[in-house]
Structure 1
Amino acid sequence: MSLIRRRKSLVLFDLDGVIVDSRSNMEAAWTAVMRDTGVTVPFSAYFAEIGRPFQDIMARLGLAHDGRRIEATFRRTSSLLLGETPLFDGVEPMLAAAAASGVKLGIVTSKDSARTQLVLDRLDVHFMIVMTPEERMRGKPAPDHLLYAMAMCNIDPAETIFVGDMESDAEAARRAGVDYAHAEWGYGERPDHYSLSAASPAILATQLFG
């Protein structure tokens, strides 16, 4: 299904579940959290909330009182394992096709800047804008990071598409007034409202850049 309104000049990608297959990384990090902090909330509950800023997830899980310590433990373990965390099959050719098409590329993720950079260092492509959580803006599903990315790239919403895999991604795109492409190879169910949906990076590359 494709409801794309026009050819795009800016393609913004989520990171986890779209570029990098980080579920096993997150599970190992959450296991460390449970071991080192005494948290008893299961990984499945944490994983159901991914896509949002970490401290928002902590609040939703009733862990806000210890959120900073939990996040420090999570980040430390996740960072140590990121080098062996795989990219999704077909992501690198998809990004190469995007770059060759001449569109501008960006990242909008709820992963912190240090771990985001560890992933991006593995990719041979230039991202014009990389948006990670910071205190001045609300995280997804709020549209703030998408709106800021478009402003910094001097691109209108009608010329932009956001590629994500979670309901929070789709909601952020809707609130920002941009088309949403759902990565079916990721972690979330396809939302009710989307502009296109692709079963693999190769198919998405054909839909957007072919």
Structure 2
Amino acid sequence: MNKTTVNRPKSLILFDLDGVILDSRRNMEIAWSSVREELGIALPFEAYFAEIGRPFPDIMARLGLAHSAGAIERVFRRASSQSLHETPVFEGIDKMLSTLADSGRQLGIVTSKDAARTELVLDRLPIGFAVVMTPRDGLRGKPAPDHLLFAMARCNVDPSNTVFIGDMDSDAEAARRARVDYVHVDWGYGARPADCLFAAKAPADLQTFLLS
């Protein structure tokens, strides 16, 4: 259900990357196929995909693969990077980001994707970001709120003036724990939570909401 609050519009808009800006499901499927072929991992892609949004080591632990996490991540990152240039940005994202940036809002990225691959994606986008949060030592990954809290501190913005745009349960939970409003994108990969501030069906829909 869509909701409205007296706190809109927000001055800091934070975005998840995969499933929100980048349509990366096929890229992940290719990378997981390489993991299965090179390392003899039997687990199907669907099991991995159900856990996305969390840091890679956390996903491996949840899948019972912690003992091989390092090797799996190396193969996965290499295979993903090789086809990342072919991975599309969702239609309408470039225009939406440019319009939001022109409005004077601060925009940021909070993702569980590693810094190297995140940079490859961001280099293709039409704008720069005030803050980019990728996994780092000393901060817990989503669904913990650490990266959202750090991003707000870097931008000198309070939770009440921040919104996080995501598509997975881990995104929604991180927003709750950081006490920021959460907007869900229906074009992403996860189910819409009942308590999201707004659910956007397309980037133009999201743009209108964020600027209203």
TM interval, shorter chain, is over 0.9
Aligned to 1:187: 189
Structure 1, unaligned runs of 5 or more: none
Q: Deviations over 1:124-146 (max 9, x none)?
A: 11100000001210000000000
Code of the aligned partner of 2:170: S
For residue 208 of structure 2, what is the aligned residue in structure 1? 206
Contact 1:5 1:158 in 2 (8 A): no
Q: Counterpart amino acid of 2:137?
A: E
Superposed CA RMSD:
0.7
- Between the aligned partners of 1:86 and 1:35, the Cα distance in structure 2 is 25
Instruction: State the Cα deviation string for residues 111-132 of structure 1 (Å, max 9, x = none).
Output: 0000000000001111000000
Q: How does 1:48-197 map to 2 (within 5 A)?
A: 48-197=50-199
Query: What is the CA deviation profile of residues 159-178 of structure 1, one whole-angstrom value per residue up to 9, with x for unaligned ones?
Result: 00000000000000000000
Structure 2 counterpart of 1:140, one-letter code: K
Give the distance between the partners of 1:178 and 1:49, measured in 2 at CA.
Answer: 23
Provide the rounded CA distance (Å) in 2 between the counterparts of 1:198 and 1:191. Answer: 12
CA distance, structure 1, for counterparts of residue 138 and residue 175 of structure 2? 19
CA distance in 2, matches of 1:105, 1:188: 22
Deviations 1:85-118 (A, max 9, x none): 0000010011011101100000000000000000
Do the aligned partners of 1:4 and 1:179 also contact (CA within 8 Å) in 2? Answer: no
Question: What is the TM-score of this pair, normalised by structure 1?
Answer: 0.99
Structure 1 Cα separation of the partners of residues 4 and 71 of structure 2 = 43
TM-score, normalising length: structure 2: 0.98
* Moved segments of 4+, more than 4 Å: none
Q: CA deviation at 1:82?
A: 0.5
Task: Give the aligned residue type for 1:154.
Answer: N
Cα distance in 2 for partners of 1:175, 1:101 equals 28
SS at match of 2:73: helix
Cα deviations by residue, 1:24-53 (Å, 9 ceiling, x for unpaired): 000000000000001111100000000000
